[in-house]
Amino acid sequence: SPADEELVMVTEILEKLNRQIPPRPFTNLNATTSAKESRATILNPRSTYCIGDQLDILLVAKDYFGHRKEYGGDFLRARMFSPALKAGASGKVTDFNNGTYVVSFTLFWEGPVSLSVLLMHPSEGVSALWRARNQGYDRIIFTGQFLNGTSPVFTECSLTLNTNAEQCQYLDTRDHEAFYCMKPPHVPCEALTHMKTDNSDVSYLSLKEKLLFQRVINVKKAIERLFLRSPDTKVIIKTENIREVNENAEIFSDFHGSIQNLILRDIFRDLNVGIIDAWDMTIAYQSEDVHPSNSVIESQVAMFLNYIC
């Protein structure tokens, strides 16, 4: 059935991510990746470079003891920039899964450039974030308000409810999406009027990935139906952007955004749609703000106009 096919697709994507982010247990913080001890070297350096050339950096990851790491998985962010020109670009990180990385920069403009490679999370931290992301779903609490005559009645709601009690199911039969509420006694399910969450400080990134990305798949299917009706329609998708470097990494780390970005691209990879790569743009700008600056928005609008004009 279509619902089974969607579940298989999302499961395959998440299993692929699980393989890419294996468990990295550690007993000593000094055994995790250290930015200070790690070493970066320009590969095949030249005295001059031309526009369009590629500049490669070999990065050897080491722990705080100075020992070379034997596995990859560090979450790195690379950018090239020239402040005087207000120019910036992201770098591509290739992980060889043995503690070495090659960071590649395409030289898009003339003049001096600065390079930055940041260790956002060691591989051990990435593993811990992935583990935390995939547990604790029951912390996300929705409260539904039903109307019993003129009196409000409140009950628990969720994408999944682990209970044998009577439930109200709100089902989209075409897209196979459902939401559930505990049914209040003597109140019909149709009496649901409002919905709120009681703990907005909990990240919704962790809320039942398979259900969240079922929604993305349904968007893809809607675009496919649109293309059947109107093949020349242009569809533009904007990715999410990086945000503030926050102490509460378990909820707000850009690692979570990078996972969202990878899955979004995987789901839409076979569709003829345009991509406004806000992720890449905000890395290039080093725009560490969940709401990017006007200059970033202007670049995104300019790219959008390039697609449609």
Task: State whether 223 and 255 are in the same domain.
Answer: yes
Residue for token pair 């999406």:
177
Helix, strand or coil for residue 102? strand
Last residue of one domain, picked from the residues 175, 198, 221: 198
Cα four-point dihedral sign 207, 208, 210, 211: negative
DSSP 2-26: HHHHHHHHHHHHHHHHHHHS-----
**5 in a structural domain:** no
Question: What pLDDT, on the 0 to 100 scale, is given for residue 49?
Answer: 96
Edge-first strand order for the sheet with 75-82 is 87-90, 75-82, 114-121
Please name the helix (run of DSSP H) or strand (run of DSSP E) that holds residue 303, with its range, or none: helix 294-308
Task: State whether 215 and 302 are in the same domain.
Answer: yes
Domain total in the chain: 3
Task: State whether 280 and 294 are in the same domain.
Answer: yes
pLDDT tens-place string over residues 173-223? 877 778 899 999 999 999 999 998 866 555 444 445 566 677 888 899 999
**111 in a structural domain:** yes
Task: State whether 185 and 255 are in the same domain.
Answer: no
**20 in a structural domain:** no
Find the distance separating the first CA and the last CA of the chain, reported in whole Å: 40
Instruction: For residue 161, count other CB atoms closer than 10 A to its CB.
Output: 17
Instruction: For residue 242, count other CB atoms closer than 10 A to its CB.
Output: 24
**74 in a structural domain:** yes
Task: State whether 214 and 303 are in the same domain.
Answer: yes
Helix, strand or coil for residue 57? strand
pLDDT tens-place string over residues 251-306? 789 998 998 898 889 899 999 999 999 999 999 999 989 999 999 999 999 999 99
Domain extent, residue 112, equals 33-121
pTM: 0.79
Nearest to 124 by CA among 22, 39, 37, 205: 22
**7 in a structural domain:** no
Residue 303 is part of a domain; what is its CATH number?
Answer: 3.40.50
Task: State whether 187 and 112 are in the same domain.
Answer: no
Task: State whether 152 and 217 are in the same domain.
Answer: no
